[in-house]
Amino acid sequence: MAKHAYHFKHDFNAHNDEKILDLRMDLGMEGYGVYWYLVELLAQSDGYKLNTNYKRLAFSMQIDEKILKAVVEDYGLFCIEKELFFSKSLIERMIRLDEIKRKRAEIGAKGGKSKAIGKQLVSKTEPIAKQNQAEESKGEESKVKKRREEDNKEKKKIITELFVSWWGFYDKKLDRKKSEILWNRLTDGARAKCLEVVHEYVKSTPNPTYRKHPTSYLNGECWDNEILPDNVNKTNFQKPSYQKQIETSIDTSFDISRQILTGEIQIEGVL
């Protein structure tokens, strides 16, 4: 589990892929969000594969089992073998990443020996080495800077896609710009929690009028709040027992007063 905890690369134009377009037309951004959630789970799974136990997986994702099964089986986005499903393109990318890490580890292990040899060569090749080092340093800095920019763009793209999914699920379209700014400030863990609980929260507030303003929800970190069932409302409100007793006493006193005035009850000592 959890071999790559931070990110994996994917194409910026994935949303325009024909298979993805078919999925979005049928299932909307909910289906798109489910697809990328599955890709993230696969990237963290042994062998980059998951079991086709849709019922258990849908429960853990808090989504409809039919939608999950449709995303996996109906659009050619995943391969299925026996009781496992996977993404060929994801596996290819992960294998390349694993190979790079392995080679880097081997280079690190050989580093000690190369240092000893390097010391012997420095005195003979120092002028050339300094020149080469300067050139390599500039080239490496340029590569690192370019790679960092690409990674930042990719992360922003993913964060935006996740916000679009959450915004669609939340379904209270107020102050989208401010909401997205707040979303971008959240940690990866907070964003994941928002997506995890949004279905239950929306279900508990079927009337959007009583649903929190999106900016209030994000500012207040309400994804950690207890979600009350949707039958707790004004129509089912039960009066406290002490209030019922007071109302009963008032009714009884009123009835006794009425009987005295009409003569139904005679009080001794009163003419």
**Cβ-contact 12, 154 below 8 angstroms:** yes
pLDDT tops 60 at residue 244: no
For residues 155-159, give the mean pLDDT.
89
Structure tokens at 136: 């390599």
Q: What pLDDT sits at residue 262?
A: 54
Whether residue 114 has pLDDT greater than 90: no
pLDDT at 242 over 70: no
Single-letter residue type at 215: T
Can you say whether the dihedral through the CA atoms of 27, 33, 39, 42 is positive or negative?
Answer: negative
Rounded to 5°, the CA angle 111-117-121 comes to: 130
Mean pLDDT of the chain: 78
Predicted TM-score (pTM) of this structure: 0.36
* DSSP symbols for 143-181: HHHHHHHHHHHHHHHHHHHHHHHHHHHH---S-HHHHHH
| Tens digit of each residue's pLDDT (9 = 90 or more) over 67-84 | 999 999 999 999 999 899
